[in-house]
Amino acid sequence: MVNIAIFASGSGSNFEAITKYLQKRKTAKVSLLIYDNSKAYARIRAEKLKVKSVFVNPKKFKSKEAFEKELIKILKAYKIKAVILAGFMRILSPYFVQSFANRIINIHPSLLPAFKGTDAIKKAYLYSVKITGITVHFVDKKIDHGPIIWQEPVKVTPQDTLKTLEEKIHKTEHKIYPKIVEYFCRGRIKIKRRKVEIA
Ligand code: GAR
């Protein structure tokens, strides 16, 4: 079974959705949660789901490279084959991305390339978009960027508030992301010259 690590900085609801899905289906194993924020609620979820969690405090390292070298050391120790970013609010350097080339996946709560960065749901809502959604993509050297694996649209109705839209987006993330992660772990997602194919 493929061992994966999930990186999170905050609530960890996607971490929980992916972990529960894979624990039930036993198609891959979430062996590790790495978090970079001591207050991340993801840690509590990991405890409940009996997943090992490791806090890597960026402030303890002299440079980004030193921080990422520590990440890579841990990933190697746990024989991690893929890194799943789930609300990990930190830009990974080309050095890290290269070390796990085509094995890092991210989710973003908008239809990329629209509304990159933080607060994407709010940005889309304030823009008064009629359709937004979620994007799952391979990670490259730029932020919220890289070959797209899957996009799922979410309609914004006149009745939606920011809160209801956030709920719809998160519900969609929790439905889609675990399936994509499983597909990837089963070798059903291929990438060649930045073109993604799902078998
Ligand atoms: C998710 O909505 C995810 O798409 C977003 O952070 C949230 C994390 O929620 N990621 C980004 O904005 C990446 N640029 P969670 O901690 O409850 O999984």
Cα separation values, 190 from 14, 54, 121, Å: 23, 30, 29
Q: Give the pLDDT confidence score for residue 141 in this predicted structure.
A: 87
Q: Which is the catalytic residue, given 108, 137, 145, 174? A: 108
What residues in the chain have per-residue pLDDT under 70? none
Q: What is the pLDDT of residue 3?
A: 97
Confidence at residue 139, expressed as pLDDT on a 0 to 100 scale: 97
Domain ranges of the chain: 2-198
Are the C-beta atoms of residues 22 and 30 closer than 8 Å to each other? Answer: yes
The residue whose C-alpha atom lies closest to atom 1 belonging to ligand 1 is 87
State in Å: Cα 25 to ligand 1 middle: 24
108 catalytic? Reply is yes
Task: Quote the CA–CA distance of 64 and 59 in Å, as a whole number.
Answer: 10
The CATH classification number of 2-198 equals: 3.40.50.170
Testing ligand 1's pocket by substitution, the residue of 7, 11, 14, 162 carrying the most ligand atoms inside 8 A of its CB is 14
- Locate the ligand 1 atom nearest the alpha carbon of residue 40 and give its number: 16
> Of all protein residues, whose CA lies closest to atom 9 belonging to ligand 1?
87
pLDDT the model gives residue 119: 97
